[in-house]
Amino acid sequence: MIAPLAGISSMATRALLAELAAACTAELGLEVRIESVGGVDAARRVEAGESFDLVVLAADAMERLTKAGHLRPGSLRAVADSAMVIAAPEAGASGRSHPDVSTADALREALLRASAVGYSTGPSGTALLKLIDAWGLTEALTGRLRQSPGGVPVGRMVAQGDVELGFQQLSELQHLPGVAVLGPMPKGLEIVTRFSAAVAANSAEPATAQRVADFLADARHDALRRRLGMSTPSA
């Protein structure tokens, strides 16, 4: 009998992977236990040689881990794409009306007016900082940019009123109490993170782990991805 497979992922895919792991047990008879932590911490633990069967992280981290030999060559499978959205405290919590963020100009103005802006430690946060820099706003926003600690969702900062605007994947912000999702990034400024699964190089059950990675990427889970604020990986 195969022991439960161990996996690690970032927080962004926690809800998706929990449902997929349960489906995997029901359909394939394979138990998968996936620990979801901050993406930076997850990558560090894999790099440190901690034993896992599966790793599910953003594309940039997976590329780095593959090049360093921590993932089995050829095992990578795209699981989901996740678009970044903009959130604010619910109107009643902040006492202020929500800003318009529907266009590039409106978003730029909203950033300049915000008392504090929250973003994640992951690739979406890096992309946001690049956009802010390209707009020439880095100096203007000095002291107002708040990076969430590893494993702490931006949504928590938004709900608590610690930031006036928060930027993170929809999958981590939707349905959170105290959080109002204002909408996606304006057209032409979309920030989409791809999450992929791969078999860890030190897996004791690589063939079985590959079956699970294939299952996680299967197109028949598209409805689940959409329900949880993610989408089918594009070609």
- Examine the pLDDT at 235 and tell me if it is beyond 70: no
**Dihedrals φ, ψ of 34, to 5°?**
-110, 125
Domain ranges of the chain: 5-81+195-227, 82-184
Taking Cα atoms as reference points, which of 8, 91, 82 lies closest to residue 50? 8
The H-assigned helical ranges of 88-187 are 91-94, 104-113, 123-134, 154-159, 170-173
- CATH topology of 5-81+195-227 equal to that of 82-184? yes
Q: What distances in angstroms separate CA 202 from CA 6, 18, 145, 205, 209, one per listed residue?
A: 11, 23, 39, 9, 11
Angle at 43 between CA 181 and CA 190, to 5 degrees: 30
46-56 pLDDT, tens digit per residue, is 999 999 999 99
Q: Please report, rounded to a whole number, the percentage of residues in the chain having pLDDT higher than 90.
A: 83
Mean pLDDT is lowest, of 99-108, 120-129, 130-139, 157-166, for 120-129
- Examine the pLDDT at 32 and tell me if it is beyond 80: yes
Place of tokens 């409805």: 223
Helix (H, G, I), strand (E, B) or coil at 88: strand
Q: Which residues make beta-bridge pairs with 195?
A: 58, 80
Q: Which residues contact 213 (CB under 8 A, 6 or more apart)?
A: 54, 75, 77, 197, 198, 199
- The pLDDT of residue 230: 95
SS in 3 state form for 111-127? HHHCCCEEECCCHHHHH
5-81+195-227: CATH, from 3.40.190.10, 3.90.930.12, 3.40.50.720, 3.40.50.1100: 3.40.190.10
82-184: CATH, from 2.30.40.10, 3.40.190.10, 3.55.10.10, 3.20.20.70: 3.40.190.10
Stretch 83-90: mean pLDDT, rounded?
A: 94
Residue 99 banded pLDDT, cuts 50, 70, 90? very high
Measured distance CA(225)–CA(220) in Å, rounded: 10
Measured distance CA(121)–CA(126) in Å, rounded: 7
Q: Which residues contact 126 (CB under 8 A, 6 or more apart)?
A: none
- β-strands 179-184, 77-89: how paired? antiparallel
Q: What pTM value is reported for the model?
A: 0.88
DSSP letters, 3-69, are PPEEEEEEGGGHHHHHHHHHHHHHHH---EEEEEE-HHHHHHHHHTT---SEEEEEHHHHHHHHHTT
Place of tokens 């034993």: 51
